[in-house]
Structures are given as C-alpha cells and as structure tokens.
C-alpha cells in the first residue's frame, strides 16, 4: 500500500465529506441511483464509508458492503461489512451486487480497464454502476489559471492518476461490456459567472450490465 493512503489522507477525506457540496453530491446520487429494498450494494473505494453508511441508515432493507485498498478505512467501519482489497481484484462472487457505487475511485486505481471489468463481473445482470471521476477539462483550466497567477495556490490531489472526459469514460465502460445510460458533467462550476457544463468539477457515469 502506498503511503498516500495513510491516516492523514483519511482525515482529509473526513474534512472534504463534511462540506456542503459533497453532501449535495451524495444526495443527488442516492436520489437518482436509489437502492431498492432487498438490494445488495457495494461502496467500492469507500474511504471513510460516507455514502455506504448513508445508504444503510436510510434503507434498512438494503445490504451494504464496503471495500477499500487501505486498511485505514476499516478503522472507520468497525462492525460493518468491510473488505480490504484493490478495486482491480475483489474477493466477491460473480454477479453478487445489484448496485455498485464507485465514487472518486476510478482515478486512483492502477489499471482502469481491469477495474471496470471486475466491477462488471461482480454486478448482477441488469445491475447498475454509478461512477464519478475528476473532470479533465476543469483540471486543465485550473492548472492554466494557476500558472498564470489568476487564482491562489491550492492543494492538488496527488493520488489521482487519471482525469476523466465523457468520451473517455464512455469508451472505457462500453469496451468492458457496460451499457452506458447517462454521462454528464457534475458538481460545482469553475466559476458561477461561467456556468458552462464542461467547466464542472467532475464527470458522472451511470451504466447498466
């Protein structure tokens, strides 16, 4: 395990998830990709498990599982169904989950194609995948603005290996056998005075097996 996924990294996740914009993101996901009673769902790359805990709290008839590559995550999920494993290779049976939530994880994995195929394997026929990653267009504009001194310095997530575009994530998913339902720019705008969709913070993909 890389040192970047240590306790300090998880404290950063705690601070980020407490922000209102992150709360709105989770609300949107749960409203539009809502677990149904009897579903078995996975919060993969769960971090401190914010999304999965919310699902478990509000949906008593849903069985929630958590997984993360870092054992530190387990410290936040004591008594819950937590598995420490890489997203590229999980111990779950074939066609086990009705819904898989892969939020802010695909950009951190070592092998994107292997990860997406693994998620397909463990999802039931007709099951749903929700995936969010950092928008490449947003990041490019931010880096340009930073280099020109137009914005103050900010902390860049050095753990993100990949940046996402709608066309790129669509190609990745369809190549692996997923049927893409929706691709959209998601999250806050770069600037409220420039409400262009491609300047949103993230890309959201919803796909069906």
pLDDT tens, position by position, 5-33: 777 777 777 777 666 566 777 888 888 89
Whether residue 150 has pLDDT greater than 90 = no
Q: What's the pLDDT score for residue 18?
A: 62
For 90-110, b where at least 16 C-beta lie within 10 A, e where not — what string?
A: bebeeebbbbbbbbbbbbbbe
Q: Which domains does the chain have, with CATH numbers?
A: 3-208 (3.40.50.150)
pLDDT tens, position by position, 109-146: 999 999 999 999 999 999 999 999 999 888 778 777 67
Q: What is the pTM of this model?
A: 0.87
> How far apart (Å, rounded) are the C-alpha atoms in residues 54 and 195?
30
User: Which spans in 39-195 are helix H?
Assistant: 50-58, 72-75, 112-122, 136-147, 166-175
Question: What contacts 196, CB < 8 A, 6 or more positions away?
Answer: 189, 190
Q: Is 110 helix (H, G, I), strand (E, B) or coil?
A: coil
């Amino acid at each position: 395990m890389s040192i970047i996924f240590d306790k300090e990294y998880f404290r950063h996740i705690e601070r980020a998830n407490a922000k209102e914009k992150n709360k709105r993101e989770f609300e949107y996901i749960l409203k539009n990709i809502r677990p149904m009673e009897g579903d078995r769902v996975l919060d993969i790359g769960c971090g401190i498990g914010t999304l999965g805990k919310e699902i478990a709290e509000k949906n008593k008839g849903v069985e929630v599982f958590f997984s993360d590559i870092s054992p530190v995550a387990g410290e936040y999920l004591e008594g819950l169904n937590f598995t420490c494993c890489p997203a590229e290779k999980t111990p779950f049976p074939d066609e086990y989950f009705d819904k898989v939530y892969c939020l802010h994880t695909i950009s951190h994995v070592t092998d994107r194609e292997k990860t997406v195929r693994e998620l397909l394997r463990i999802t039931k026929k007709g099951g749903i995948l929700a995936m969010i990653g950092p928008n490449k267009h947003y990041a490019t504009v931010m880096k340009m603005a930073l280099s020109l001194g137009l914005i103050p310095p900010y902390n860049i997530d050095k753990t993100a290996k990949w940046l996402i575009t709608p066309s790129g994530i669509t190609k990745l998913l369809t190549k692996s056998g997923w049927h893409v339902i929706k691709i959209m720019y998601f999250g806050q705008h770069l600037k409220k005075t420039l409400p262009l969709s491609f300047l949103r913070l993230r890309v959201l993909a919803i796909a069906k097996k």
